[in-house]
Amino acid sequence: QKEVEQNSGPLSVPEGAIASLNCTYSDRVSQSFFWYRQYSGKSPELIMSIYSNGDKEDGRFTAQLNKASQYVSLLIRDSQPSDSATYLCAVNSDGNTGKLIFGQGTTLQVKP
């Protein structure tokens, strides 16, 4: 069974620090990877997508992908209290249908 694993946390960081969120996946042939942010009681919103090895930066967010290690991470620089949420890692498990498999999510707490 294809799996996506995340540490549930909570991960607590002070305001202004770098938050590092990690994710591993089991299906070696996966090609597309996504990070979603979910606030309590709300639906997920897309933060980043990454398709090739290396780093991808978008504002305060950097996604890192290492397909050899089956590892994807999300760095949040200058963390703000408003970044406090659950971050879901998602992996495309079927290129034809586009369905995503989600990790359990990591809860991030940014303390003022």
Task: Report how far residue 43's alpha carbon sits from residue 15's, in angstroms, rounded to the nearest whole number.
Answer: 25
Task: Report how far residue 13's alpha carbon sits from residue 78's, in angstroms, rounded to the nearest whole number.
Answer: 10
Min dist. Cβ of residue 98 to other proteins (A) = 5
How many chain residues interact with other proteins (CB under 8 A)?
A: 23
35 binds other proteins (CB under 8 A): no
Q: Which stretch binds other proteins (CB under 8 A): 12-20, 44-52, 53-61, 63-71?
A: 44-52
- First-to-final CA distance of the chain: 40
Measured from the CB atom, the residue of 73 and 103 that comes closer to other proteins is 103
65 binds other proteins (CB under 8 A): no
